[in-house]
Amino acid sequence: DVKVTQSSRYLVKRTGEKVFLECVQDMDHENMFWYRQDPGLGLRLIYFSYDVKMKEKGDIPEGYSVSREKKERFSLILESASTNQTSMYLCASSLLSGGTNQPQHFGDGTRLSIL
């Protein structure tokens, strides 16, 4: 089974801090994704990456950046955390081959609170 591991289940940070969320997958997937999940809004894509050092903006990239130095690891960075970034963050990965038929595999999420 594919395993997507997010480094923290719960995280509390202060306004203005630089925050790193880490995600690792163990199935050699090319694609990796970061979403945030908010009540009433569902999942919204922040950034995704289809290869090492490659990235594309999703629907809500403002205030975030990402890093993919190795294929198995995809980091989300909050450059200067703000209270409106309090949310559940979900990482996912998928195979490139087979195109859009490939499902995404999700981690258990990081619940981030910015005080």
Partner 1 sequence: GNSVTQMEGPVTLSEEAFLTINCTYTATGYPSLFWYVQYPGEGLQLLLKATKADDKGSNKGFEATYRKETTSFHLEKGSVQVSDSAVYFCALSDNSGGSNYKLTFGKGTLLTVNP
- Give long-range contacts, CB 8 A cutoff, 24+ apart: 49-52: 49/74, 50/96
Looking at the Cβ atoms of 18 and 22, the one nearer to partner 1 is 22
Looking at the Cβ atoms of 4 and 78, the one nearer to partner 1 is 4
Looking at the Cβ atoms of 40 and 69, the one nearer to partner 1 is 40
Measure Cα distances from 39 to 42, 44, 76, 89, 110 in Å: 6, 11, 21, 12, 15
Q: Least Å distance between CB 58 and partner 1?
A: 7
Contact predicate 63/3, CB 8 Å: no
Q: Least Å distance between CB 62 and partner 1?
A: 18
Residues that bind partner 1 (CB under 8 A): 4, 31, 33, 40-43, 45, 48, 50, 56, 58, 90, 92, 94, 96, 99-109
Looking at the Cβ atoms of 26 and 79, the one nearer to partner 1 is 26
Separation of alpha carbons 92 and 34, rounded Å: 7
Q: Least Å distance between CB 101 and partner 1?
A: 5
Strand pairing category for 10-13 and 110-114:
parallel
